[in-house]
Amino acid sequence: MNESQVSVPLPVRLRFGHAAIQHVADEVGADILHIKGAAADPSLRPGGYAGSDVDVLVRPAHVARLDAAMRRHGWHLYSTFEYGSPFGHAQTYLHEAWGYIDVHRFFPGIRLEPTAAFELFWADRHTVEIAAVGCRVPSVPAQAVLLVLNAARSTSRGQSDVATAWREAGEQRRAEIEALVATLDARVAFAAAAGGLEQYRHERDYRLWKIVSEGGSRSAEWWARVRAAPDLRSAIGVIARAPRVNVDHLAHRLGRAPTRGEIIAEFFRRPAKAVREAWPRRRRAGARG
């Protein structure tokens, strides 16, 4: 007898993914908040867009216990905090049944200390049912803030989310969002998506969010991250990470674990690419001079 296979629609699989990670978190006592996608309030995603993966924000002190539990339950690490993004904010996991999940230990654009920011979201949480499992989500104004902050880094649904979550919001909702953005110290990143970024030219992370939202070379982005660092120690850490090869990205590109020789070759390829990016800009600057 031939074994039959049934293709599960992506929106259905994502909802089960939310339920599965909530079950794992409850098992080990990890506090998580479901954000974006299927967890978003219908008023913020009227079209019912569920995204392409599951996103959760975890209490920073509970990251290790959630990571260990996920691995026990069949999730495999796809990309790490260190290499998953230049912000170092999320780790991506892959499960053969539930697909991809991004576990956020903080959210880019929020300058408030991560534990304090999570506690702020956690204090106003409520529960929604996703695939018949109670999943904790932030308040609707908090969800709107996160969608707009995410739009500053997004090229797909970004402006659609900004329109629904911010520009089309009522007066009271906009006041709630503005108050929360101020408390989270997230004005610069919020403005990068919603408009008005130029009024924050004096802020240390202005140049970073301008590049992130409008585009720029990789080398320019790294220098902007150095300028955005809150203190000297953080800046030194950014400088130390910049030359490192993104082993996760290289492995995905090759479709296998890279050899030591391939990592070394990539190490020398990246500076050459930075020079090629910088040369046209230098020529244009010279021509203007």
pLDDT of residue 275: 45
Q: pTM of the prediction?
A: 0.82
Q: What is the mean pLDDT of residues 158-186?
A: 93
- The answer to whether residue 5 scores a pLDDT higher than 60 is no
- d(C-alpha 139, C-alpha 125), whole Å: 5
Which residues, listed in sequence order, are joined to residue 99 by a DSSP beta bridge? 95
Residue pLDDT, tens place only, 211-231: 988 888 777 887 888 888 888
Q: What's the pLDDT band for 267 if we cut at 50, 70, 90?
A: very low
- d(C-alpha 88, C-alpha 92), whole Å: 11
99-104 and 54-58 as β-strands: parallel, antiparallel, unpaired?
A: parallel
- State the average pLDDT for the chain: 84
Between 172 and 216, name the one with better pLDDT: 172
Q: What's the pLDDT band for 1 if we cut at 50, 70, 90?
A: very low
- The answer to whether residue 285 scores a pLDDT higher than 50 is no
> CA dihedral in degrees (139, 29, 16, 125; nearest 10)?
-10
Packing angle of the helix pair 140-151, 171-183 (nearest 10 deg) = 70
pLDDT of residue 198: 96
pLDDT of residue 144: 96
- d(C-alpha 153, C-alpha 134), whole Å: 29
Q: Give the SS3 label for residue 45.
A: coil
- Residue 28 has which token pair? 């080990």
Q: What is the mean pLDDT of residues 193-214?
A: 94
Q: What's the pLDDT band for 48 if we cut at 50, 70, 90?
A: low
pLDDT of residue 278: 47
Q: Which range has the worst mean pLDDT, 39-43, 194-198, 252-256?
A: 252-256
Sheet with strand 32-35: strands edge to edge = 32-35, 54-58, 99-104, 90-95, 76-79
Q: What is the mean pLDDT of residues 12-28?
A: 96
pLDDT of residue 82: 77
pLDDT of residue 215: 85
Residue 282 CB neighbour total at 10 angstroms? 10
